[in-house]
Structure formats: C-alpha cells, structure tokens
Amino acid sequence: MAYDFDADLTEMLDTDEHATSATYTPVGGSAATVKGIFDQAQEHEEVGIGIDLELTNALFHCKKSDLTGTFIGGTMVINSTTYLIKAETVDEAGLLSTLTLQDQT
C-alpha cells in the first residue's frame, strides 16, 4: 500500500492546527488564499566588538501545488504584512515549497 504524503501535508497545513492563511499573488496574476506555516526566525550575529546585528529570516512553507504562475517577485500577505517572494526551495519529494520572503513595510 502506497503512503499518501499529500494527505499528511494537507493535515499539517490545516489552519486549525499549525498553519496560517496567506494571500498569494503571483507576478501578473490574481490573488489566491494559500495555507502554510509562517516562520519568522530571528538570529543575532556579532559583526564587531560589542556590535550585534539582528537578522530576521521570514519563511513560508506551503504545498508546491498551491503556487501557480511566476511566484518569484510575487507577493504574500501574512497577518496584514506584505512580503516580496525572493526565492524558493523545494523538498526532495517536490511536494513542499519553502519561500524566502522580504518584508515590504
């Protein structure tokens, strides 16, 4: 019996569980709602003696099949904040996309 990874991914991206809804707009396309996990990790890097640089890395993990059109350069609105989609990484199975986002505020 084959394992249904897509069903597990759908369950993981349930907004009643771990995920959030976002408004995705591809370049030259129409807005659509996608579900995913928003990760806004903060890192501190020492760049000099007594100088810390705070880096925020905004990522959005969603189903690859939910992304249509040209998404690099498109936008994602999450919790009323607009982000520019800068890059995408896809898992080995080709099911999950991780988008690197840049805050536009």
Round to whole Å and give the CA distance between 17 and 81. 22
pTM for the model stands at 0.79
**For residue 69, what pLDDT is reported?**
87
Q: What is the pLDDT of residues 11-69, one digit of tens each?
A: 667 777 778 999 999 999 999 999 999 998 766 667 667 777 666 679 999 999 999 88
Kindly report the CATH number assigned to the domain that includes residue 84. 2.40.10
Domain span at 22? 5-103
Q: In the chain, which ranges are E strands?
A: 20-25, 32-48, 51-63, 75-78, 81-90, 96-103
Query: 3-state DSSP call for residue 8?
Result: helix
Q: Are 73 and 84 in contact (CB under 8 A)?
A: yes
Q: How many domains does the chain have?
A: 1
Round to whole Å and give the CA distance between 93 and 84. 25
